C-alpha cells in the first residue's frame, strides 16, 4: 500500500478546487495523470478512490479552513493577464 500517495490524493481532493473538479469530472483520467507524474497508486487504491461517493469531496472540502485551500481562479471568473 502506498499510504503517503493516498494521503496526498485525499489532501488534494479536499484542498485543491481545480484538482477536485477534474477528479469529479473524470476520476480515471485524473488518477492516470497522477500515475504518469510519478504518484504510486495500486489498482486497488485507484478503485477504492473512484468508488467513494463523489458528493463527499465538495462537502468535506467545506470543512477545511479557507486558508488551507487552493482556490481555482477560473471558478471566480478571473482570467490570466494577457502578455
**Hey, what's the cell of 66?**
479557507
- The lowest-confidence range among 25-29, 67-71, 72-76 is 72-76
The predicted model scores a pTM of 0.81
The confidence band for 66, taking pLDDT boundaries of 50, 70 and 90, is confident
Distances (CA, A) of 47 to 33, 39, 52, 64: 15, 15, 9, 25
Distance of CA 36 to the CA centre of its chain: 15
Instruction: Record the cell numbers describing residue 83, joined without a space.
Output: 502578455
| Structure confidence by residue, pLDDT tens digits, 7-48 | 999 999 999 999 999 999 999 999 999 999 999 999 999 999
Question: What residue segments make up the domains of the chain, in order of their start?
Answer: 3-76
Question: Which residues fall within 8 angstroms of residue 66, CB to CB, at 6 or more apart?
Answer: none
Amino acid at each position: 500500500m502506498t499510504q503517503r500517495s493516498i494521503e496526498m490524493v485525499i489532501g488534494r481532493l479536499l484542498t485543491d478546487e481545480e484538482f477536485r473538479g477534474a477528479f469529479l469530472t473524470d476520476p480515471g483520467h485524473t488518477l492516470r495523470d497522477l500515475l504518469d507524474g510519478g504518484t504510486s497508486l495500486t489498482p486497488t487504491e485507484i478503485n477504492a478512490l473512484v468508488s467513494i461517493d463523489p458528493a463527499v469531496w465538495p462537502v468535506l472540502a467545506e470543512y477545511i479552513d479557507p486558508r488551507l485551500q487552493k482556490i481555482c481562479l477560473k471558478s471566480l471568473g478571473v482570467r490570466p493577464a494577457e502578455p
